[in-house]
Amino acid sequence: MSHPHPELGTPPKLPKGGLRVTPLGGLGEIGRNMTVFEYGGRLLIVDCGVLFPEEEQPGIDLILPDFTTIRDRLDDVEGIVLTHGHEDHIGGVPYLLRLKPDIPLIGSKLTLALIEAKLQEHRIRPYTLEVKEGQRERIGVFDCEFIAVNHSIPDALAVAIRTPAGMAVATGDFKMDQLPLDGRLTDLHAFARLSEEGIDLLLSDSTNAEVPGFVPPERDIQNVLRTVFANAQKRIIVASFASHVHRIQQILDTAHEYGRRVAFVGRSMVRNMGIARDLGYLKVPAGLVVDVKTLDDLPDDEVVLVCTGSQGEPMAALSRMANRDHQIRIVQGDTVILASSLIPGNENAVYRVINGLTRWGANVVHKGNAKVHVSGHASAGELLYFYNICKPKNLMPVHGEWRHLRANAELGALTGVPKDHIVIAEDGVVVDLIDGKAKIVGKVQAGYVYVDGLSVGDVTETSLKDRRILGDEGIISVFIVVDSSSGKIVGAPHIQARGSGIDDSAFSAVVPKIEEALNKSAQDGVMEPHQLQQLVRRTVGKWVSDTYRRRPMILPVVVEV
Per residue in 255-297, pLDDT tens?
A: 999 999 999 988 888 899 999 999 999 999 888 999 888 888 8
Length of the chain equals 561
> Please, where in the chain does CATH 3.40.50.10710 lie?
218-365
pLDDT at 312: 62
377 is in an annotated binding site: yes
DSSP codes of every residue in 331-394: -TT-EEEE-S---TT-HHHHHHHHHHHHHTT-EEE-TTTS-----SS-BHHHHHHHHHHH--SS
Topology annotation, domain 218-365:
Rossmann fold (3.40.50)
DSSP tag of 455: E
499 is in an annotated binding site: no
pLDDT, position 4 = 54
Using one digit for the tens of pLDDT, what is the confidence trace for 408-428?
A: 999 999 999 999 999 999 999
Q: By the 8 A CB rule, do 204 and 413 touch?
A: no
Q: Supply the pTM of this predicted model.
A: 0.85
Tell whether 373 is in a known binding site. yes
Amino acid at 490: V
Low-confidence ranges of the chain (pLDDT < 50): none
Domain with CATH 3.10.20.580 in the chain: 461-560
Residue 292 assigned to a binding site: no
Which residues are CB-neighbours of 174 under 8 A, at least 6 positions away?
Answer: 149, 150, 151, 156, 158, 186, 205, 377, 378
Looking only at the bridges linking them, the beta strands covering 142-148 and 157-163 are antiparallel
> What is residue 80's predicted lDDT score, i.e. its pLDDT?
98
What's the CA gap between 55 and 39, in Å, rounded? 40
- The beta-strand segments (E) located in 235-376 are 236-239, 261-264, 303-307, 335-338, 363-365
Helices vs strands, H then E, count in the chain: 15, 25
Torsion sign across C-alpha atoms 51, 242, 402, 149? negative
Sequential DSSP letters for 276-292 = HHHTTSS---TT-B--G
Q: Which CATH superfamily is domain 19-213+375-454 in?
A: Ribonuclease Z/Hydroxyacylglutathione hydrolase-like (3.60.15.10)
Pick the CATH number of 461-560 from 3.60.150.10, 3.10.20.580, 2.60.34.10, 3.10.129.10: 3.10.20.580
How many beta carbons lie within 10 A of that of residue 542, not counting itself?
12
Comparing CA positions, the residue from 401, 408, 406, 373 lying closest to residue 387 is: 408
pLDDT at residue 487, rounded to an integer: 65
Query: Can you give the pLDDT at residue 150?
Result: 95
375 marked ligand binding residue = yes
The boundaries of every CATH 3.60.15.10 domain in the chain are: 19-213+375-454
| φ, ψ (nearest 5 deg) of residue 539 | -65, -50
